[in-house]
Amino acid sequence: MFESPESYENILFLSLGQSPEIKQIRLIAAGNVNQGIYLETSAGSFFLKTNFETDPDIFEKEAEGLQMLRNKTPLQIPEVYHWGKIEDRNFLLMEWIDTDRPNPVYWQELGVGLAQLHMATQEQFGYATNNYIASLVQTNSPKNSWQEFFIENRLEPLAGKAYYQGLLSLEFFKKFQKMYPKLENLLPKEKPALLHGDLWSGNIMRGKNGSPCLIDPAVYYGHREMDLAFSRMFGGFEEEFYQSYETVFPLEPDFEERIPIYNLYPLLVHLLLFGKSYLSGIERTVNKLI
């Protein structure tokens, strides 16, 4: 955390145009990249994210993603007050979300809300700018087909990076690339859908009235099955979520069989961030397809 209260006071002034009295400062999360800090002030409570990342726009892109979600889904999204850099740290000041017990239709609300988000579309796959998934750059250059986008902007950049970092052998990297032509006939063709981009249980909170609130997006227009596959990565969500989604925006048949293909991307992200314990999942999928 910052060494002096003056740093927090400066952030509040930059963000709000005033210097409210700080009543409490509490570290509530310390991950590999970001710190999460609770600020209680005379002007209300705030959530402050900070990091030491050299990329100066990492929180700018997160703020843009949150605003995009606020514009496109009825689900709760934290309001962003300001982002920038002070001293040697990047910061992002946001609305504090008071967590509550999930309401009886929590998972149904999440399923319907995500389906409505996915109905937002545009002509090409991609996004106006590159952004980040965790601390990794996420390339979003527009492509006309999902297969092209998935290969050139998701799989190949991260697999190549993993190879150069010694996380993939040359033999397996070449085998991985042999999988690409097979994707054309394995993934259904759909219009681009606006995605959260990093949809796992850690990026969903219980917000006001116990309703779901989305945080930490890595937005782009992609194949909507990416979000749903990602949600299965760490145990999955409750079945009511998937059933509610299907009632609003039904999936093409055999989605379950495609989940491991989509999850090659988040597995590569985890391989680069956390090491070779995530390699076996990648190998299983590739070996099954080749």
- Could you give the CA distance from residue 161 to residue 129 in angstroms, rounded to a whole number? 21
Please give the structure tokens belonging to residue 96: 């504090």
Report in angstroms the alpha-carbon separations of 51 from 34, 184, 287. Answer: 5, 39, 38
The confidence score (pLDDT) of residue 87 equals: 80
Token digits of residue 21: 């009295």
* Placement of tokens 């509610």 in the chain: 244
Give per-residue pLDDT as tens, 170-218.
999 999 999 999 999 999 999 999 999 999 999 999 998 999 999 999 9
Phi, psi angle pair for 188, to nearest 5°? -65, 150
Structure tokens at 29: 């999360």
pLDDT of res. 54? 73
pLDDT at 17 exceeding the cut of 80: yes
| Mode of pairing for the β-strands spanning 131-133 and 204-206 | unpaired
Looking at the predicted structure, is the pLDDT value of residue 32 above 90? Answer: no
pLDDT reported for residue 51: 86
Map out the domains of the chain with their CATH numbers.
Answer: 5-95 (3.30.200.20), 106-289 (3.90.1200.10)
Looking at residue 7, its pLDDT comes to 87
- Judged on CB neighbours under 10 Å (0-12, 13-18, 19+), 169 is exposed
Across all residues in the chain, what is the average pLDDT? Answer: 94
The owner of tokens 């596959």 is 229
Tell whether the model's pLDDT for residue 247 goes beyond 70. Answer: yes
The Cα diameter of the chain in Å comes to 62
> Rounded to whole angstroms, how far apart are CA atoms 220 and 140?
7
pLDDT of 3 above 70:
no
Amino acid at 156: E
pLDDT of residue 197: 98
Query: Does residue 244 carry a pLDDT above 80?
Result: yes
Catalytic residues: 198
Amino acid code (one letter) for 6 = E
Given this model, what pLDDT does residue 102 score?
81
Give the model's confidence band at 1: pLDDT under 50 very low, under 70 low, under 90 confident, else very high: low
Q: Residue 34: pLDDT band by 50, 70, 90 thresholds?
A: confident
pLDDT tens, position by position, 72-105 = 999 999 999 999 988 888 999 999 998 878 899 9
Percent of the chain whose pLDDT exceeds 90: 86
Measuring CA to CA, which residue among 138, 116, 118 is closest to residue 129? 138
